[in-house]
Amino acid sequence: MNPSDTIAAIATPPGEGGLAVIRISGPSALAVADRLFRPGRVGPSLAGVPSHTVHHGWVTAGEERVDEVLVTVLRGPRTYTREDTVEIGCHGGVLVSRRVLETALASGARLAEPGEFTRRAFVNGRLDLAQAEAVADLIHARTTRSARVALGQLQGHLSGRINEARDSLMLVLAHVEAHLDFPDEDIAPETGRVLAARMEAALGLVRGILRTANEGRILRHGLRVAIIGLPNAGKSSLLNRLLGEDRAIVTPIAGTTRDTLEETASVRGWPVVLVDTAGVREGADAVEAEGIRRARIAAGRAELLLHVVDAARGWTPADEALRGESRGTRTLVVWNKADLGFVASSEGIAVSCLTGAGIDALRDRIAAAATEGMETSDGDEIAIGSRHRDALTRGSDALERAIAAMQSGVPLDLLALDLRVAAGAVGEVVGKTATDDLLDAIFSTFCLGK
C-alpha cells in the first residue's frame, strides 16, 4: 500500500460483455496511459488534454495494436480516488481486457489490491470509512431496499449522525480535560448539568443508531426462512412460487426433496434466504432420513419458519409434533392447496401454490416478520452493519459509565478516560480511529478493481 504507486485493475466483472473498463490511478496515471495509447487522430498527448475528456484511439503493445478503445482522462482531485485517473474502455472480452491490463502493467502501473481504489478514496479523504463500506454494500445489494440504504450510507446519512454524536462527546471531553489541569477547581454544578445533558443526548443518538442493527443485518445477510412440513405438503412448490422460478423439484411422490436447498428471494424489497427442506416423517430410508436431519438443522438456524400444511389433509399429529420441536422460533402456518377447497383455520394463512392465491398476502406476512420490532424511520434511513454495532456498543457502554461518573462525582480523570473510550469507539465507525489491520480486513473483502 504505497500511495506513490500508480495502480491498475480491470474494474468490470470477469467474463464476456460489451465493454470492459481498465482503471489506472496514481501520480503517473497519465504517463502510463501515454505509453500505451495511440490517438486515433493527431493531437496532444493525454498528459496535455483537459480533465474529464474522452479520447478515441488504440492501445498498443510495441507496434502491435491490442484493442480500439475510448480513454477517459480524469485529473485529481475530482476523481474517485482523488488521484489522477485514466479509465480505458475496451471491448469486453476476457483476453482483450486482460491484455490491456497487462499493457498498463508493462507501462509502469502495479496491479491493484482488492479494494485499493476505494482505500485510496478513504485515505485521501474522499470517503469516510462508513461510506467506503457502503460502496461494497451497494455492489452486493440484491434487493431495492438494501441498495437504497447502502446509497444513503454512501451519501453520508450514517456518518452525519456519528459525527454529531462524536462532536458532542469531544466537546464534553475538552471541557473535562481543561479541568484536569486545575485539579483544585470543581466543575461548577451548572456546567456539570450542561455536560451531563450533552452526554445524555449523545447516548440517545448512539442508541438510536444501534437500534437499526437488526435491520442492517437483514439487509446485508437476508432474513433466514426455513420451509418445513410433512412430505407432499407443497414446500418445494412454495419455494418456487416465492422465488418466481422453477428451482426445486416438485412431484406427487412424498419424499421428493432430500437435500436442503437455499435461495435468496426479494420479498417486498427485503432479502430473504429461503430454505426448502425434506418433509419430516417416520420410517424414511437412509437418504431421506439424512435429509430430515438437515431439515431440523435448517429449522434450528431459521429466524422464521413457514410450516406448510396440506389443507386437504388437515392438521395431523405429525404436524403437532413438528410444531412442538420449534416452539422457540417464530412460525407462520401456511395452509396450502386452498384451491382444493377447505375451511380455513383461524391460525395461519391460506394459499395455493398451484394458482398463486394468497401468495401476495404471505409476502406481506414475511416482510412484516422481517420488520417486527423495528422502527421505520421516514427520513434518512440508516441500517448499520456488525462492525458498527460492535463499536457503538462499546461506545454506549463507556458513555453510560461516564454519565454515571459525572452524576456520582467520581474523579474527573476516570470520567475523562471513559469519555475518550466512548469518543474513540464512536469514531471507529467513520474511521476517525482505524488501525491498518482494520483497514486491511475491510478492504480485502472488496472486489478486485473497486
Ligand X SMILES: Nc1nc2c(ncn2[C@@H]2O[C@H](COP(=O)(O)OP(=O)(O)OP(=O)(O)O)[C@@H](O)[C@H]2O)c(=O)[nH]1
279 binds ligand X (CB under 6 A): yes
269 binds ligand X (CB under 6 A): no
- Residue 268 CB, nearest approach to ligand X (Å): 22
**Residue range at the interface with ligand X (CB under 6 A); choices 156-164, 319-327, 350-358, 377-385:** 350-358
146 binds ligand X (CB under 6 A): no
373 binds ligand X (CB under 6 A): no
Structural contact between residues 132 and 438, judged by C-beta atoms closer than 8 angstroms:
no
Instruction: Report H helices in 94-212.
Output: 94-106, 116-123, 129-140, 144-154, 157-180, 189-210
257 binds Mg ion (CB under 5 A): yes
Comparing CA positions, the residue from 234, 236, 239 lying closest to residue 267 is 239
Dihedral sign, Cα of residue 139, residue 141, residue 147, residue 149: negative
Comparing CA positions, the residue from 10, 29, 24, 30 lying closest to residue 97 is 10
- Residue 224 CB, nearest approach to ligand X (Å): 19
189: preceding bond cis by omega (within 30 degrees): no
284 binds ligand X (CB under 6 A): no
233 binds ligand X (CB under 6 A): yes
- Residue 143 CB, nearest approach to Mg ion (Å): 25
- Residue 265 CB, nearest approach to Mg ion (Å): 16
254 binds ligand X (CB under 6 A): yes
Return the number of the residue (251 or 407) whose C-beta is nearest ligand X. 251
CA distance 104 to 126: 25
Tell me the chain's radius of gyration from C-alpha atoms: 29
The DSSP H or E segment spanning 419 is helix 412-430
Return the number of the residue (32 or 248) whose C-beta is nearest ligand X. 248
How far the first Cα of the chain sits from its last, in Å, is 15
Q: How many residues bind ligand X (CB under 6 A)?
A: 24
Which residues touch 45 (CB under 8 Å, ≥6 apart)?
Answer: 34
Q: Which of 141, 205, 250, 384 binds ligand X (CB under 6 A)?
A: 250
CA 48, chain centre distance (Å): 41
353 binds ligand X (CB under 6 A): yes
277 binds Mg ion (CB under 5 A): no
Q: Which of 194, 289, 318, 354 binds ligand X (CB under 6 A)?
A: 354
User: Checking phi first, is residue 118 left (phi over 0); if not, alpha (psi -120 to 50) or beta?
Assistant: alpha
**Pairing label, strands 64-74, 53-61:** antiparallel
400 binds ligand X (CB under 6 A): no
Binds 123: which of ligand X, Mg ion, none (CB < 5-8 Å by kind): none
**Residue range at the interface with ligand X (CB under 6 A); choices 158-166, 264-272, 331-339, 377-385:** 331-339
**Residue range at the interface with ligand X (CB under 6 A); choices 44-52, 161-169, 245-253, 262-270:** 245-253
291 binds ligand X (CB under 6 A): no
Looking at the DSSP assignment, which residues form a beta bridge with residue 271?
A: 266
Farthest CA pair distance, the chain: 85
The DSSP H or E segment spanning 444 is none
203-232 binders of ligand X (CB under 6 A): 229, 231-232
340 binds ligand X (CB under 6 A): yes
Q: Which of 236, 240, 331, 352 binds Mg ion (CB under 5 A)?
A: 236
Local structure of 352: helix, strand or coil: coil
- Residue 361 CB, nearest approach to Mg ion (Å): 22
Q: Which of 256, 326, 329, 377 binds Mg ion (CB under 5 A)?
A: 256
445 binds ligand X (CB under 6 A): no
Give me the half-sphere count of Cα atoms (radius 13 Å) on the Cβ side of residue 188.
Answer: 3
375-394 binders of ligand X (CB under 6 A): none
- Residue 259 CB, nearest approach to ligand X (Å): 11
Return the number of the residue (32 or 226) whose C-beta is nearest ligand X. 226
CA distance 249 to 252: 10
Which residues touch 213 (CB under 8 Å, ≥6 apart)?
Answer: 383, 384, 386, 388, 389
**Using CB under 5 A as the criterion, which residues of the chain lie in contact with Mg ion when the complex forms?**
235-236, 256-257
Interface ranges with ligand X (CB under 6 A): 229, 231-237, 250-252, 254-257, 278-279, 336-337, 339-340, 352-354
